[in-house]
A and B are shown apart, each in its own frame.
Chain A
Amino acid sequence: MMADEKQGVFDTSRAELLVKELREQFDSGKTKSYAWRVSQLKAILKMVDEREDEIVEALRKDLSKPKAEASMNEIYLLKSSCQCALKGLKKWMKPKRVIPSILALPSSSEIVSEPLGVVLVISAWNYPFLLSIDPVIGAIAAGNAVVLKPSEVAPVSSKLLADLLPQYVDNSAIGVVEGGKHETTVLLEQKWDKIFYTGNSRIGRIVMSAAAKHLTPVALELGGKCPAVVDSNVDLQVAARRIVAGKWACNNGQTCVDVDYVITTKNFAPKLIDALRVQLERFFGEDPLNSKDMSRIINLNHFTRLKKLLHEEGVSSKIVLGGHADEEQLKMAPTILLDPPEDSLVMKEEIFGPLLPIVTVDTVDDSFGLILSKPKPLAAYLFTNDKKLKKKFVDTISAGGVAINDTLLHLTVSGLPFGGVGESGIGAYHGKFSFDAFSHKKAVLYRCFFADIPIRYPPYSARKLSMFNAVTSLNLIGLIQAAIPCFKA
């Protein structure tokens, strides 16, 4: 089926046919069974295991992603996500018992998780495997039929996914559609039972508007300008190292949760810059453009976008480190800017690249106003040893997630939901949250026919009313009085 579609143009009729076929498969009930779900999850695990080299190679071709980074951020996280689902699945699928209410006695009730149906996963180019397969794992675990649309911006990975998935998973219920804007538009016209989109907020709005036509729920995993606030009482070496790791060692800044800008005090900024300079040299050597441990920029389009940010008036003079780039190889050196203008593009738009503005404030507390003046980010980071400041940060800064004294690592904790808020997105996944994101929580109440008290049926009387009154106020004596007719209501 998939192979056929690759031959010609993917148009509306093909999309309709695809959804129809998948819906038939879903309706047959096979994706619902525990056995099917487990076998698909195992197949994905096997695929990642057996094809690791090809995956790493595709990532190298698309992004020059270093092997260690690819192993950690794509292979390892995928495998642990798969293992987590395999381990948790039985428990996740179990109906959850619930305490019945006094109005519905005698009864028992439970919450049953059921698959939504046929779901669409639209993924992004920066982590083309992780961000494609991780939601697919959730969709499969919850028992759905899935269509995955990988990003055309990472073409080698997209092709590999389209080649590999059908070899390992059930083709009749899990499909891959490659393509760009046209194919995505055609897919979005169809009625899905959930759309899971990873990308930017402009497309996010388009996805949600398209979903509204069919009342389809959406998960939107977007980005934002993720701030890192650095206090002056930190272990400077560790903080610098973790910022470098959370910026340049993460796909060279092309990550939705990486550090977008740093806020620190005027006095501390020089020390922080020095420490970053030392760590950057230790990480990537004296000539970072030739380092094998750093990804390149994905394509010329993004390369030009980043250069534009850098060359805006009043910005280039703020460069304190780096700034050089190699258009041929699409490489850009780690670049630090000190206090670029508030209204510059680099401070207004999500950077998504190796540029790191450092904004200075008089006191650390001033950073709150700055963060709150911008849309809610996907992540916010704080480096400090001050307990009060930590509490204030967690209490007042709204963001998808918060990590204290580190960057990015919160997304490796499977017990934490991963997802944005406000401009950074809708809905969350990872671990059991992935299962929940693709499940409907069905309320089920069981009753039996005996012990049916007619108080809730018409004709109504004052006695019935006072019984209800007694029930609400949990007045047992009143309840008995009202139930026994010899007492006056």
Chain B
Amino acid sequence: MKPIQYYSLLVMGTFAAPMTSFSFFSCSTVLVLPHTSVGITRDRSLGRRSFRSRIRTGVASLYLHLLSIMAEEEKREVFDANDAALLVKELRGHFKLGKTKSYEWRVAQLKGISEMIVEKEKEIIMALQQDLSKPETEAFVSEILLTKSSCELALKSLQSWMNPEKVKTSIMTFPSSAEVVSEPLGVVLIISTWNYPFSLSIEPVIGAIAAGNAVVLKPSEVASAMSKLLADLLPQYLDKMTIRVVEGSVPETTALLEQKWDKIFYTGNGRVGRIVMAAAAKHLTPVVLELGGKCPAVVDSDVDIQVTARRIIAGKWACNNGQACISVDHIITSKDFAPKLIDALRTELERSFGKDPMQSKDISRIVNLHHFRRLTKLLDEDGISSKIVLGGQTDEQDLKIAPTILLDVPEDSLLMTEEIFGPLLPIVTVDALEGSFDLILSKPKPLAACLFSNDEELQKKFIENISAGGITINDAVLHLTVPGLPFGGVGDSGMGAYHGKFSFDTFSHKKAVLHRSFTGDSTLRYPPYETRYLSVLKALMNRNFLRVILVASGLSKP
């Protein structure tokens, strides 16, 4: 779908720069395809945050501008590998000019994000309501508040993050000084997901910007309202030369993945994660994969049962109705305690969402029909429906599923083998709580694991034995709000981590720098090798520094 005339128009355009936008607009309207709401963010007339003035190289800037116009026009077609290549080329051109490296640019962009969040809060919450019926408070806390505070943290700490870190040098290099310098990786791709479509898009973008990279964000097409909003908002608040949004689904993502990036940051599932990493391998691109897993919650019998139930609810249904990568997937508790826990969950669920949770405004819906059917399939599996002890109601029209608790479903059921990612909560009972360890260890490493217990011994054992991205003791999900904690998986739940300074580090290369002077150069380490050199090495190995000096200076025999 790319007529040759189109290209010739582009070539002509380079000779008639001021006319190009008009001619392209008129030409591209003809080329609009009904199903393509995809493309690169447009390069609208420059807004408040114009950084054009910083590009002093006029010719380069004109050339790049033309490139961006070309890229913009292609938005009206299918975004294919050629468009993706052009986009990356353009961003690389801007990155090479060096402007994204400056402290000022980074701060301006971070402030832009912060301002966008404050000014467009209503639109963001509205989009979340359209995509997921996300309750306003939940949207505010998990998307607005967290993103805003990470932006503020980055702004506050950026200077200290950017400072080279001094390092002690070794006796081998004396006299010298050494430092670790953080430098941006280059042009990075962020592929985000639909369940927290705002925070999971913007949070990594904050890290990429803080580290001084040029960024392409591909929001999830599954949360279409947010995808569109991000494509509209980002260019209004950020430097559109270096920060771009590409909307789209599989074909667009494939086209993007064919390009050479300096980092790919993917949030989603393990199946696509493998595809992303295999694509990255072709270009030796490092990846961060933020995946999910079956996150267990182990509940001991010595807990404050009301608080525990409340926190499990907060970590399951009040987290996007279970559609969160770190929400509680299943509970493991002892046989005796299970009935009490179920009662407490019932009471607290009613307090949270009322007698008819299907009518509650405080709970998200299922994102789309596909996921709705996937979840009902889990419930419809043989031998499952008889295990429901609470909930089970579904409404396909409104895509609603009530908070549902199942007791002791078969080990080999889909519910216990696949990540649930929805409002179903199986409770597995064991004779003694120690039995829960084997159950968890028999499954792939989850992104999060939590334990509710007052038994310090058990807590210690849990932390030592359970490998998971993160662990919360006596709460769920909350560890991700601590910016000092890395957020990321291990094994099947992903690789790499972010949040706070980890986001900055994830998008930085840590360059080792050693400074030497020409004075004090000992010839000892050069050939022709003398036996003296070996003696000095021996003395060094034995940490006999006096002997090192004596032999090196010739005062002592080798």
Determine if chain A interacts with chain B: yes
> Which residues of A pack against B, CB within 8 Å?
27, 29, 32, 66-69, 71-72, 75-76, 79-80, 98-101, 103-104, 107, 109, 111-112, 114, 116-117, 193, 201, 204-205, 208-209, 211-213, 215, 217, 220, 222, 234-235, 238-239, 241-242, 244-245, 249, 282-285, 291, 293-294, 372, 385, 390, 394-396, 398-406, 409-418, 421-423, 425-428, 440-450, 452, 454, 456-461, 464-465, 468-469, 471-472
Contact A413 B486, beta carbon cutoff 8 Å = no
Chain B residues, CB < 8 A from A209: 278, 281-282
Interface of chain A, main secondary structure = mixed
Contact A284 B527, beta carbon cutoff 8 Å = yes
Q: Known interface pairs A71-B537, A109-B482. Does A406 touch B468 (Cβ–Cβ under 8 Å)?
A: no
Contact B537 A385, beta carbon cutoff 8 Å = no
Q: Known interface pairs A68-B534, A201-B284, A449-B304. Does A409 touch B472 (Cβ–Cβ under 8 Å)?
A: no
Chain B residues, CB < 8 A from A114: 467
Q: List 23 A-B contacts (CB under 8 A).
A: A32-B464, A68-B533, A71-B537, A80-B540, A109-B485, A114-B467, A117-B491, A212-B277, A215-B494, A372-B96, A406-B514, A406-B516, A413-B178, A413-B512, A415-B167, A416-B180, A421-B509, A426-B284, A442-B490, A446-B473, A456-B318, A459-B362, A468-B141
Count B interface residues, CB 8 Å: 109
Nearest A residue to B141 via CB reads A468
Which of A32, A193, A449 is in CB contact (< 8 Å) with B308?
Answer: A449
Nearest A residue to B459 via CB reads A446
Q: Known interface pairs A67-B534, A111-B486. Does A443 touch B180 (Cβ–Cβ under 8 Å)?
A: no
Contact B512 A443, beta carbon cutoff 8 Å = no
Q: Known interface pairs A404-B516, A472-B145. Does A460 touch B509 (Cβ–Cβ under 8 Å)?
A: no
B360: Cβ under 8 A from any A Cβ: yes
Contact A446 B474, beta carbon cutoff 8 Å = yes
Q: Known interface pairs A452-B307, A456-B141, A468-B141. Does A100 touch B482 (Cβ–Cβ under 8 Å)?
A: yes
Tell me the complex Cα distance, A252–B427, Å: 65
Which of B137, B278, B464, B487 is in CB contact (< 8 Å) with A465?
Answer: B137
The listed residue with most A CB atoms (<10 A of its CB), out of B101, B273, B472, B534, is B472
Tell me the complex Cα distance, A345–B173, Å: 34
Which of B334-342, B407-415, B518-526 lies at the interface with chain A?
B518-526
Contact A464 B170, beta carbon cutoff 8 Å = no
Contact A109 B484, beta carbon cutoff 8 Å = yes
Contact B534 A458, beta carbon cutoff 8 Å = no
Chain A residues, CB < 8 A from B168: 413, 415
Shortest beta-carbon distance, A484 to chain B, in Å? 19
Contact A212 B528, beta carbon cutoff 8 Å = no
> Which residues of B pack against A, CB within 8 Å?
96, 98, 101, 135-138, 140-141, 145, 148-149, 167-170, 172-173, 176, 178, 180-181, 183, 185-186, 262, 270, 273-274, 277-278, 280-282, 284, 286, 289, 291, 303-304, 307-308, 310-311, 313-314, 318, 348, 351-354, 360, 362-363, 441, 454, 459, 463-465, 467-475, 478-487, 490-492, 494-497, 509-518, 521, 523, 525-529, 533-534, 537, 540-541
Nearest B residue to A384 via CB reads B518
Chain B residues, CB < 8 A from A446: 459, 473-474
Contact B534 A71, beta carbon cutoff 8 Å = yes
Which of A245, A422, A457 is in CB contact (< 8 Å) with B310?
Answer: A457
Contact A443 B514, beta carbon cutoff 8 Å = no
Which of B362, B454, B483 is in CB contact (< 8 Å) with A449?
Answer: B454
The 8 A-B residue pairs with the shortest CB-CB distance, nearest first, are A98-B484, A68-B529, A415-B167, A443-B470, A460-B137, A208-B281, A401-B512, A212-B277
Shortest beta-carbon distance, A192 to chain B, in Å? 11
Contact A449 B511, beta carbon cutoff 8 Å = no
Shortest beta-carbon distance, B439 to chain A, in Å? 14
Chain B residues, CB < 8 A from A222: 284
Nearest B residue to A446 via CB reads B473
The listed residue with most B CB atoms (<10 A of its CB), out of A104, A204, A213, A425, is A104
